[in-house]
């Protein structure tokens, strides 16, 4: 049985991958800095799984304990989802983003490179490092980060290049398009739109929603991450994305139509976020050709799943904080 150490296992992407990996028969040890959230926001809690254990540990403060745990369980793979991940908010306290995404993360890498039991380290990073792009970009596109968040992620990505080149550190990196699906944090655009409409609240649409994105279902992302973990080439990065692009306004209009409400009555246009990239679209040809991956869940099906999840759990979700809660 393979053992996976999932760092950031309480995050949406982390918890969804944990669920996927357990379904594949792996043993998973999860680490996050916060206690496990309510089951409605924890995809691996929706199914009965054996072979999972959770530890509340923080990369910023508990590196020694994390490495003690790693040496105790000797994972075949470490998959790191942990990061300060909000873009607009990173302008307010950029030091917190750099402490987690650069200092703590690179210290973690430096400890992991000395672990002879490790088959591969999977670094889950972000297309934000490219800045605003035109057209579909490949994995060798130049970095041009435009926010403290993006700069902090780019710094760790560049550091990993040197670790691979100098130490032969067995790292592969993933960059996914905008992920979504049941269980996502409520401040993200899709669950937030659904909840606000069902609660009778008006949604603020930054900049009129003209920026465009590619939205990919989290199960497709977990499937891709699993393939990359096993079959990816060390030192390489893989884009995980669909071929479809939609503006944020069109996305919200689509959700309104599915819920049978008038867009104009439920949405308020406000100013754009500081440093927001107008577009980044990822070319996922490398993942498709080298690892025979393909996305299977279209946006309409995925949105229907999200609406069903919110409706089923509305009594609980509507009582949760709907805005991002910062943790240093």
Interval 206-253: pLDDT, tens:
878 888 889 999 999 999 999 999 999 999 999 999 999 999 999 999
Is the pLDDT assigned to residue 159 strictly greater than 60?
yes
Pairwise CA distance, residues 208 & 263, whole Å: 12
Is the pLDDT assigned to residue 48 strictly greater than 90?
no
Helix, strand, coil fractions of the chain, as percent rounded to 5: 45, 20, 40
Q: 310 with 194: CB under 8 angstroms?
A: yes
What sign has the CA pseudo-torsion 247, 252, 255, 260?
negative
Nearest to 242, CA basis, from 196, 199, 299: 299
Close Cβ partners of 86 (under 8 Å, ≥ 6 residues apart)? 149, 324, 326
| Structural tokens at position 29 | 């040890």
The residue written with tokens 């994995």 in the block is 139
Is the pLDDT assigned to residue 200 strictly greater than 70?
yes
Q: What is the predicted pLDDT for the residue at 257? A: 97
Q: 33 with 58: CB under 8 angstroms?
A: yes
Taking residue 226's Cβ as centre, other Cβ atoms within 10 Å add up to: 22
Is the pLDDT assigned to residue 280 strictly greater than 70?
no
Q: Give the mean pLDDT of 81-97.
A: 91
Close Cβ partners of 79 (under 8 Å, ≥ 6 residues apart)? 4, 5, 6, 7, 14, 17, 121, 122, 124, 225, 229
| Structural tokens at position 151 | 């700069």
DSSP 8-state symbol, 102:
I
Interval 240-278: pLDDT, tens:
999 999 999 999 999 999 999 999 999 988 766 554 555
Interval 24-39: pLDDT, tens:
999 999 999 999 999 9
Specify the higher pLDDT residue, 108 or 321.
108
Tell me the percentage of the chain whose pLDDT exceeds 90: 86
The residue written with tokens 């069902």 in the block is 198
The residues that bridge with 171 in the sheet, in sequence order, are 121
Specify the higher pLDDT residue, 306 or 209.
306
Q: What is the predicted pLDDT for the residue at 108? A: 98
Q: Give the mean pLDDT of 41-62.
A: 96
> Three-state SS for 214?
coil
Report the chain's mean pLDDT, rounded to a whole number: 94
Q: What is the predicted pLDDT for the residue at 277? A: 53
Q: Give the mean pLDDT of 45-57.
A: 95
| Structural tokens at position 323 | 């805005």
Q: What is the predicted pLDDT for the residue at 60? A: 96
Residue 328: pLDDT band (50, 70, 90) is low
Is the pLDDT assigned to residue 86 strictly greater than 90?
no
Q: What is the predicted pLDDT for the residue at 24? A: 97
- Conformational region of residue 315, where left means phi above 0, alpha means psi within -120 to 50, and beta covers everything else: alpha
Q: Give the mean pLDDT of 184-213.
A: 91
Tell me the percentage of the chain whose pLDDT exceeds 70: 97
The residues that bridge with 31 in the sheet, in sequence order, are 7, 55
| Structural tokens at position 256 | 């309104």
**Range scoring the smallest mean pLDDT among 51-55, 159-163, 228-232, 267-271:** 267-271
> Three-state SS for 231?
helix
Residue 124, φ and ψ in degrees, nearest 5: -90, 105
Q: 203 with 272: CB under 8 angstroms?
A: no
Q: Give the mean pLDDT of 81-107.
A: 93
Residue 87: pLDDT band (50, 70, 90) is confident
Q: 66 with 110: CB under 8 angstroms?
A: no
What is the model's pTM? 0.94
Q: What is the predicted pLDDT for the residue at 206? A: 82
Interval 10-23: pLDDT, tens:
999 999 999 999 99
Interval 100-147: pLDDT, tens:
999 999 999 999 999 999 999 999 999 999 988 778 899 999 999 999
Is the pLDDT assigned to residue 88 strictly greater than 90?
no
Q: What is the predicted pLDDT for the residue at 322? A: 86
Q: What is the predicted pLDDT for the residue at 256? A: 97
Q: What is the CA radius of gyration of the chain?
A: 19
What the chain holds in terms of domains, given with CATH numbers, is 3-179+215-240 (3.40.50.720), 185-213+244-277+297-317 (3.90.25.10)
Pairwise CA distance, residues 217 & 109, whole Å: 29
């Amino acid at each position: 049985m393979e053992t996976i150490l999932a760092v950031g296992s309480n995050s949406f992407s982390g918890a969804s991958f944990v669920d996927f990996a357990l379904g594949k028969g792996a043993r998973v040890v999860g680490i996050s800095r916060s206690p496990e959230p309510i089951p409605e926001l924890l995809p691996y809690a929706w199914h009965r799984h054996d072979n999972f254990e959770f530890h509340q540990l923080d990369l910023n403060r508990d590196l020694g304990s994390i490495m003690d745990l790693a040496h105790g369980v000797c994972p075949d793979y470490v998959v790191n989802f942990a990061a300060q991940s909000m873009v607009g908010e990173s302008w307010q306290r950029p030091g917190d983003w750099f402490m987690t995404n650069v200092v703590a993360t690179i210290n973690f890498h430096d400890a992991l490179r000395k672990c002879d039991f490790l088959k591969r380290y999977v670094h889950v990073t972000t297309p934000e490092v490219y800045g605003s792009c035109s057209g579909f970009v490949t994995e060798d596109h130049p970095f041009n980060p435009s926010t403290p968040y993006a700069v902090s992620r780019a710094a760790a990505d560049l550091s990993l290049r040197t670790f691979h080149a100098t130490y032969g550190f067995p790292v592969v990196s993933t960059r996914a398009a905008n992920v979504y699906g049941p269980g996502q944090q409520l401040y993200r655009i899709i669950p937030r739109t659904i909840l606000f409409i069902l609660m009778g609240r008006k949604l603020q649409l930054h900049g009129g929603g003209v920026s465009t994105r590619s939205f990919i279902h989290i199960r497709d992302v977990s499937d891709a991450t699993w393939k990359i973990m096993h079959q990816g080439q060390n030192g390489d990065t893989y884009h995980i994305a669909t071929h479809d692009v939609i503006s944020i306004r069109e996305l919200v209009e689509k959700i309104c139509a599915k819920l049978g409400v008038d867009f104009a009555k439920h949405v308020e246009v406000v100013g754009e976020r500081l440093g927001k990239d107008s577009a980044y679209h990822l070319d996922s040809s490398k993942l498709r050709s080298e690892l025979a991956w393909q996305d299977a869940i279209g946006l309409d099906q995925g949105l229907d799943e999200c609406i069903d999840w919110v409706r089923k759990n509305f009594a609980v979700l509507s009582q949760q904080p709907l805005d991002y809660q910062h943790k240093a």
